[in-house]
Amino acid sequence: MSRQLLVPVDGSPMSRRALEYAFEEYPDAPIVAIHVLDPMDPGYSSATEVDVRNEPPRGSEEWYERAREEEERIFDEVREVAAEYDAAVSTETTNGEPAREIVDYADENEIGGIVIGSHGRTGPTRLLLGSVAETVVRRSPVTVTVVRDESAR
């Protein structure tokens, strides 16, 4: 596969695993790691090692500043993984609802496939948390490979 692959990254172990999978299975494909900032997601916090009670209001300038710092940490990890595979990776950032932004990026750019991590949640947990991967699979204009958490079976 020589067309670009899109790999959404959020700093989770599963997004790292999806990135590793992309490098392992498609060593010659150009890879784009995309990170989506979603200030509306109650599960997203730009705080990493700070007390969550000190988290600035969602969507505020300070929130975006912290989120960008976290994003830079995520992209540093992406570049470290790429170096482990002696591969190049480009990075992209967007703001909005993650599934929609991922699908729109794939649709508007020359993306040949998406490799996305999923925690494989089922039942009430999936219903409460939603599933970015599931929405991407349903709406994507290109082939999607879902890398699942083996322990979720």
Tally of CB atoms within 10 A around 151: 7
> What pLDDT was estimated at residue 44?
52
Burial 32-64 (b: 16+ CB within 10 A, else e): bbbbbbbeeeeeeebeeeeeeeeeeebeeeebb
pLDDT of 61-97, one tens digit each?
A: 888 888 899 999 999 999 999 999 999 999 999 999 9
Q: Please give the pLDDT value at position 47.
A: 42
pTM for this structure? 0.84
Structure confidence by residue, pLDDT tens digits, 3-27: 899 999 999 999 999 999 999 999 9
- Residues 94-149 have pLDDT tens digits of 999 999 999 999 999 999 999 999 875 555 544 434 589 999 999 999 999 999 87
| CATH code of the domain in which 8 resides | 3.40.50.620
Domain hosting residue 40, numbered range: 4-152
Q: How confident is the model at residue 40 (pLDDT cuts 50, 70, 90)?
A: confident
Position 150 confidence tier, pLDDT thresholds 50, 70, 90: low
Q: How many domains does the chain have?
A: 1
